[in-house]
Structure 1
Amino acid sequence: MDDIVQQAMAKWPNVPHCHGWLGLDARGRWYLRDDAVQARGAFAQSKGALLQHDKLIAFIARNYEADAHGQWFFQNGPQRVYVELECTPWIWRIGPDGLGLISHTGRAARATACLWDEEGRAYLASEMGLGLVHTLDVPQVAEALERGDWLAEPVQSSHLPARYGFVRSPAARAGSPHP
Structure 2
Amino acid sequence: MDDIVRQAIAKWPNVPHCFGWLGLDARGNWYMRDDRTQHAGPFPASKGSLLTHEKLIDFIQRNYECDGEGQWFFQNGPQRVYVELEAAPLVFRLGDERMVTSHTGRPARVQRVVLDDLGRLFLDTDIGFGIVHALDMETASDAVESGQWAPRPIRSTELACRFGFVLSPAARHANTMKKAGQ
Q: Could you say which TM-score interval applies, normalised by the shorter chain?
A: over 0.9
- Match of 2:172, as an amino acid? R
What is the identity percentage for the equivalent residue pairs of Structure 1 and Structure 2? 58
TM norm structure 2: 0.95
Please give the alpha-carbon distance, in whole angstroms, between the structure 1 residues aligned to 2:6 and 2:72.
Answer: 17
Q: How does 1:20-59 map to 2 (within 5 A)?
A: 20-59=20-59
Q: d(CA) in 2 for partners of 1:67 and 1:17?
A: 12
Structure 1 alignment gaps of length 5 or more: none
* Distance in 2 of aligned mates of 1:22 and 1:40: 14
Q: Please state whether the residue corresponding to 1:175 is helix, strand or coil.
A: helix
Q: What is aligned with 2:105?
A: 106
Please tell me whether residue 115 in structure 1 is matched to residue 118 in structure 2.
no
Count of aligned pairs between the two proteins: 176
Instruction: Report the CA distance between 1:95 and its aligned residue.
Output: 2.3
- What is the SS of the residue equivalent to 2:96? coil
Counterpart residue number, 1:157 = 156
In structure 2, what is the equivalent of residue 15 of structure 1?
A: 15
Tell me the distance in 2 between the aligned counterparts of 1:9 and 1:95: 36
CA RMSD of the aligned region, Å? 1.1
Deviation at 1:128, TM superposition (A): 1.5
**TM-score normalised by L of structure 1:** 0.96
Paired residue type of 2:157: S
Structure 2: unaligned runs, 5 residues or longer: 178-182
Where does residue 87 of structure 1 map in the other structure? Answer: 87
What is the rounded CA distance, in whole Å, between the counterparts of 2:58 and 2:128 in structure 1?
Answer: 20
Q: Counterparts in 2 of 1:136-151, with a 5 A limit? A: 136-151=135-150
Amino acid at match of 2:56: L
User: Distance between the aligned counterparts of 1:6 and 1:150, measured in 2?
Assistant: 39
Deviation at 1:96, TM superposition (A): 1.1
Instruction: For CA contacts below 8 A with separation 6 or more, give which structure has more relative contact order.
Output: 1
Query: What do residues 61-102 of structure 1 show as CA deviations (whole Å, max 9, x unaligned)?
Result: 00000000000000000000000000100000012111x211
Q: Deviations over 1:95-138 (max 9, x none)?
A: 2111x211111010011111111111111110122110000001
In 2: Cα distance, 1:44 partner to 1:29 partner: 11
Q: What secondary structure does 1:148 align onto?
A: coil
> d(CA) in 1 for partners of 2:164 and 2:104?
19
Q: Write the distance in 2 (CA, Å) between the matches of 1:174 and 1:126.
A: 27
Q: Deviations over 1:34-76 (max 9, x none)?
A: 0000000101210000000000000000000000000000000
Aligned-partner SS, 1:93:
strand
Higher helix share: 2
C-alpha distance after superposition, 1:127-156 (max 9, x if no partner): 122110000001111101111111111111
